[in-house]
Amino acid sequence: MNDLGDLRTLWELFLAGGPLMWPITAMSLLVVAFGLERLVALRSGRFVPRGLAAKLRAIADGAALDPREVSAFCDAHPSVLATVVRAMLARIGRPLAEIEHAVETVSNREASRLYANIRPISLAVSITPLLGLLGTVQGMIIAFYTTANLEAGANRSAELAGGIYLALITTFAGLCVAIPAAVIAHYLEGRILSGCRRVDDVASRLLPAIERLEHRSRDSASAPRPSERQPDRIAAVRKP
């Protein structure tokens, strides 16, 4: 029975807080929904999948770089790292500075996309205390108005205290939503920053392999063909 009484009291307090308790409640549900969605979306494999990272480490350790094979690995492991690596592969043969710029551009774009669903949580951090304050100001206005219109001899102090007590409910509710929301937003932003740093670290290991591939391509292109070398050998044989 005490539990039911407590629930009834909480519900009565909620109603006493006034109409602004409803948008504060909606903001709390928004924080929970987007917080859970981002926790799932920002798992470690979303940034650097193990299979793709192992392949890139092998290439960095000296294995041959086959752009088609790496592209197939990217298709099999959709992630932020895969998007960055595809941008690097698309620019093979161009200056190294251009490839590095592409890595930075794509990484920033992916980070901005991941931040998108954290913005509603940040909005709740800013809005809910203001909603609570607005409800408190509204309640104070009502409390002072009611006190001022009491009949002579009424206990004005008790009436005013009761009005202020009810007016502060929305401020309390707004802070109860905003403080956890700020912690959640900060944690999720930290996960994005650390994940993007890992992506940049792993992707940068591919740059020397791309340079080696370009050197081999230039060497093979500049080497004389067998048909071009044949007359020299024939001339050498014909010399007395």
The ranges assigned to domains in the chain are 20-216
**CA nearest 162: which of 147, 178, 179?**
147
State the pLDDT confidence band at 226, using cuts at 50, 70 and 90: low
List, in order, residues 6 or more apart from 225 with CB less than 8 Å away. none
What would the pLDDT profile of 132-178 be if each residue is shown by its tens digit?
999 999 888 888 888 877 776 667 777 777 778 888 899 999 999 99
At 84, list the tokens: 């960055």
pTM score: 0.77
Q: What is the per-residue burial (b if ≥16 Cβ within 10 Å, else e) of 22-40?
A: ebbeebbebbeebbeebee
Distance of CA 58 to the CA centre of its chain: 29
CB count in 10 Å sphere of residue 238: 7
What is the predicted pLDDT for the residue at 239? 47
Checking if the pLDDT of 4 tops 50, the result is no
- Using only the alpha carbons of the chain, give its radius of gyration: 33
**CA nearest 83: which of 172, 224, 195, 168?**
195
CB count in 10 Å sphere of residue 222: 7
What is the predicted pLDDT for the residue at 217? 63
What would the pLDDT profile of 81-105 be if each residue is shown by its tens digit?
999 999 988 888 888 888 888 888 9
Average pLDDT, the chain: 83
| Residue 202 φ/ψ, nearest 5 degrees | -70, -45
Contact 73, 52 (CB under 8 A): yes
**CA nearest 48: which of 79, 70, 72?**
79
| Residue 96 φ/ψ, nearest 5 degrees | -60, -35
**CA nearest 136: which of 104, 111, 170, 105?**
170
User: Rounded CA gap, 186 and 195, in Å?
Assistant: 14
What would the pLDDT profile of 102-139 be if each residue is shown by its tens digit?
888 999 999 999 998 899 999 999 999 999 999 999 88
What would the pLDDT profile of 7-49 be if each residue is shown by its tens digit?
558 888 888 888 899 999 999 999 999 999 999 988 878 899 9
